[in-house]
């Protein structure tokens, strides 16, 4: 009887509700949505700095880009007859990055067109998130740069538009890299102003401390690899350092290059885009060095003053090859060449 009593009080699991699945049964508490959200959070300081330096219209540009990116993605997935996954935040991130890569004077229609190009031609046409070979925000930016070069390279001086929502002040200013002639010891901008971002430029690219803050935040969260910004910036510093040493009158010193243009934004937030850059750490280093070489070459010898966007897009196209070259040999592979697999 005693045994019967204990049988009754011990509860056995109900097997009808059991879930059967393949191992592993544990999963790290992380998701695509969280990664995208964290990158957006990391970009906010730079956005705030842009709004401070270039006036509140900067926020309008960012908002239009984000909204039109989200709208284009929803429309595209509907047309493709797929489930809408805009909640993963990738479209919002593309919009934010595109907006940060536009001058504050960019007209609203341009923001919308840039966003549509970024999402439709940069991403959805390849099959959506994960399948795009090029960074969508840079596709949008470069398309606008080629289509409307004047509008894309008209820069307003910082701190002149403080309370201007609609119009923009006409006080224009060349960007640090747009100044064609440099003379030794007489740089057009002080390092101090370059560092804080008190120069002309795109909304989100000028304020170095804000970008560094976001970048370090992402490195600490293990969302981006530290190797990418470090090798990218080091390569640019090395090449511009050598050219500055050889031709001091024509070439700006390396620190000037590091602090100006879109380099910081590119190195921390564009060259680290997961989808369009190599998978492995080794591949990421190759990618970053390639970006550094191309950026320096375009800046020093090219006809464009700035080369970050182009160099990242060019390296994007090499990503599958880099993946193949840097594919790790499996653990325990002898040093001899792998056997060829018969078709």
Partner 1 sequence: MIKQLHFYGGIHPAEDKVAQSVPIVEPPILETYIVPLQQHIGAPAKAVVAKGDQVKRGQLLGEAQGFVSAPVHAPTSGVIREVTTCLGPSGAQVPALLLASDGEDTPAEPMPAIDWRQAPPGDLRQRIAAAGIVGKGGAAFPTVVKLSPPPNKKIDTLILNGVECEPCLTADHRLMLERAEDIVTGAQITAHILGAKTILLGIENNKPDAIEVMRQAVGDSGIKVCSLKVRYPQGAEKQLIYAVTGRKVPSGGLPADIGCLVQNVGTAAAIADAVCRGKPLYERVTTVTGTPLVSPGNWRFRVGTTYADAIKLAGGVKEDPIKIISGGPMMGMAVYSLDIPVIKSTSGILLLSQDELTQFDVRPCIRCGRCNDSCPTGMMPGILSVQIENQRYELAEKWHVMDCIECGCCAYTCPASRPLVQHMRRAKAEVQAARRAAKAKAEK
Q: Which residues bind partner 1 (CB under 8 A)?
A: 7, 9-15, 17-28, 30-32, 34-35, 85, 88, 90, 127-131, 223, 225, 274-281, 284, 323, 327-334, 341, 343
CB of 267 to partner 1, least distance (A): 18
The C-alpha atoms of residue 57 and residue 168 are separated, in whole angstroms, by 8
Question: Which is closer to partner 1, CB of 8 or CB of 303?
Answer: 8
- Residue 43, CA atoms < 13 Å, CB-side half-sphere: 27
CA 202 from centre of chain: 14
CB of 65 to partner 1, least distance (A): 21
Question: Which is closer to partner 1, CB of 185 or CB of 343?
Answer: 343
CB of 42 to partner 1, least distance (A): 15
CB of 13 to partner 1, least distance (A): 5
Question: Which is closer to partner 1, CB of 26 or CB of 146?
Answer: 26
CB of 282 to partner 1, least distance (A): 10
The C-alpha atoms of residue 168 and residue 58 are separated, in whole angstroms, by 10
Question: Which is closer to partner 1, CB of 216 or CB of 279?
Answer: 279
E-only strand ranges, 232-293: none
CB of 22 to partner 1, least distance (A): 5
10 Å CB burial of residue 202 (0-12, 13-18, 19+) is buried
The C-alpha atoms of residue 119 and residue 79 are separated, in whole angstroms, by 14
Question: Strand, coil or helix: what is 306?
Answer: coil
Q: Ramachandran region of residue 67, left (φ > 0), alpha (ψ -120 to 50) or beta?
A: alpha
Residue 185 tokens, joined: 């010891």
In the chain, count H helices and then E strands.
Answer: 14, 0
The C-alpha atoms of residue 274 and residue 42 are separated, in whole angstroms, by 15
Q: Are 315 and 287 spatial neighbours (Cβ–Cβ below 8 Å)? A: yes
CB of 313 to partner 1, least distance (A): 17
Q: Measured between alpha carbons, how far is residue 323 from residues 130, 265, 267, 271 in Å? A: 15, 24, 19, 15
Question: Which is closer to partner 1, CB of 6 or CB of 150?
Answer: 6
Question: Which is closer to partner 1, CB of 18 or CB of 246?
Answer: 18
Question: Which is closer to partner 1, CB of 126 or CB of 191?
Answer: 126
């Amino acid at each position: 009887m005693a045994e019967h009593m204990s049988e009754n009080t011990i509860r056995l699991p109900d097997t009808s509700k059991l879930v059967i699945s393949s191992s592993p049964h544990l999963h790290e508490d992380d998701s695509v949505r969280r990664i995208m959200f964290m990158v957006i959070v990391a970009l906010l300081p730079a956005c705030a700095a842009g709004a401070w330096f270039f006036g509140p219209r900067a926020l309008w540009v960012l908002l239009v880009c984000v909204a039109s990116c989200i709208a284009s993605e929803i429309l595209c997935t509907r047309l493709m007859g797929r489930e809408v996954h805009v909640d993963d935040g990738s479209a919002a991130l593309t919009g934010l990055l595109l907006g940060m890569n536009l001058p504050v004077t960019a007209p609203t229609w341009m923001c919308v067109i840039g966003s549509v190009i970024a999402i439709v031609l940069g991403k959805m046409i390849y099959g959506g998130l994960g399948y795009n070979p090029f960074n969508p925000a840079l596709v949008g930016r470069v398309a606008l740069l080629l289509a409307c070069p004047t509008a894309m390279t008209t820069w307003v001086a910082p701190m002149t538009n403080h309370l201007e929502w609609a119009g923009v002040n006409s006080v224009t200013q060349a960007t640090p890299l747009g100044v064609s002639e440099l003379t030794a010891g007489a740089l057009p901008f002080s390092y101090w102003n370059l560092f804080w971002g008190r120069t002309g430029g795109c909304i989100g690219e000028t304020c170095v401390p804000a970008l560094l803050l976001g970048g370090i935040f992402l490195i600490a969260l293990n969302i981006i690899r530290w190797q990418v910004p470090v090798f990218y910036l080091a390569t640019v510093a090395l090449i511009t350092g050598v050219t500055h040493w050889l031709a001091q009158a024509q070439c700006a010193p390396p620190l000037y290059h590091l602090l100006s243009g879109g380099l910081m934004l590119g190195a921390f937030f564009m060259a680290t885009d997961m989808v369009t850059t190599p998978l492995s750490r080794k591949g990421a280093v190759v990618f970053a060095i390639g970006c550094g070489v191309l950026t320096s070459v375009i800046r020093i010898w090219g006809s464009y003053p700035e080369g970050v966007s182009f160099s990242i897009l060019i390296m994007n196209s090499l990503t599958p090859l880099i993946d193949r070259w840097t594919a790790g040999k499996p653990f325990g592979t002898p040093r001899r060449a792998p056997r060829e697999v018969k078709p």
